Structure 1
Amino acid sequence: MQYTKEEVLAQANKASKNTLMETLEIEMVDFGPDFLVARMPVTSKVHQPDGVLHGGATAALAESVGSFASVIFTDSNLMVRGLEITANHVKSIREGFVFAKATFLHKGRTTQLLDIRVTDQDENLISICKLSTISLPKKK
């Protein structure tokens, strides 16, 4: 069964209720045949003490969009868990939005490797993240 872009985004955002994604106001905003994009506002809620975006919030954004991408683009009868995430922060941001675009470097049946580029609203690179995930049978 094929889902529309709007249905995929609505389902992902509904699944985020009462989770870290809702706390950080992470929202899935774009979806295509080989990518998923999430957005997060940069406010004091995600700042480090000196007033710039906290790297941990950036990593949470990256892991969220990458994990959702693994669910969407692999067997939905499996559960996805993150194995490892790396983040290289190259630019700071104080306000506005950051966008994380997840694309696959490897899409295996069991493991996946995703490249996640985090940019500001002007498409300036903020962070480059890599996420490896594993797909496992759902527990009964």
Structure 2
Amino acid sequence: MCPGPVRAEVVTGANLACVTDTPAQEFPATTEQWRAAARGSLIERLGIEIVDVSAERTTGSMPVAGNTQPAGLLHGGASVTLAETLGSIAAQQHAGPARAAVGLEVNATHHRGVRDGRVHGEAVALHLGRTTAAYEIVVTDDDGRRVCTARLTCMILGTA
């Protein structure tokens, strides 16, 4: 159940999204604003650096060190977190300040292991619609080899 006055309750998978007439927060519009908004979040804890931000293409990178599984390889969940972060930022840019983008579905294929350096992600829009946005996110290692391919679909909440 959503707290306070709401316009709609939307169930997405196991998540409940509450749509209000007043946004819960202001969404950043620039790369610098997204960097500032990441402070204190999982983005900061994983060391994700946001490089470029737009609805059509958002990029960033993350260190392998500190984001590994016990075997010393980059954790698959860290790759997916990088992918979902980049795709979600791009989807929010598409949604604009009066609306919110929430993840509906993410899937990923892990192609190779990485033990050191950084991984780099690029989220490219596949579909930018009125109510949904979809992205393909490719994660590569420092040598440009594909580490992970993910796809993210976001629902756009609020009025257009």
Per the alignment, residue 11 of structure 2 pairs with: none
1:127 partner letter: C
2:32 partner letter: A
1:108 partner letter: G
2:154 partner letter: T
Q: Is the CA contact 2:55–2:125 (under 8 Å) kept in the aligned structure 1?
A: no
Scaled by the length of structure 1, the TM-score of the pair is: 0.88
In structure 2, relative to structure 1, the CA distance for the partners of 1:32 and 1:132 (3 Å cut) is: closer
For structure 2, the residue ranges without an aligned partner over 5 or more in a row are 1-28
Q: What SS does the corresponding residue of 2:119 show, helix, strand or coil? A: strand
2:101 equivalent to 1:80 = yes
Per the alignment, residue 61 of structure 2 pairs with: 39
Deviation at 1:134, TM superposition (A): 0.9
Q: What SS does the corresponding residue of 2:72 show, helix, strand or coil? A: coil
For structure 1, the residue ranges without an aligned partner over 5 or more in a row are 1-6
* 1:1-140 correspondence runs (5 A): 8-31=30-53, 34-43=56-65, 45-137=66-158
User: Could you report, residue by residue, the CA deviation over 1:1-30 in whole angstroms, capped at 9, with x for unpaired residues?
Assistant: xxxxxx821011111111100110111112
In 2, the alpha carbon distance for the partners of 1:103 and 1:81 equals 17
Scaled by the length of structure 2, the TM-score of the pair is: 0.77
Higher helix share: 1
2:155 partner letter: I
Superposed structure 1 runs of 4+ greater than 2 Å apart: 30-34, 73-76
Aligned-pair Cα RMSD in Å: 1.6
Q: What is the percentage of aligned positions where both structures have the same residue? A: 37
User: Could you report, residue by residue, the CA deviation over 1:40-77 in whole angstroms, capped at 9, with x for unpaired residues?
Assistant: 0110x210110000000111110000000011133221
In 2, the alpha carbon distance for the partners of 1:74 and 1:15 equals 17
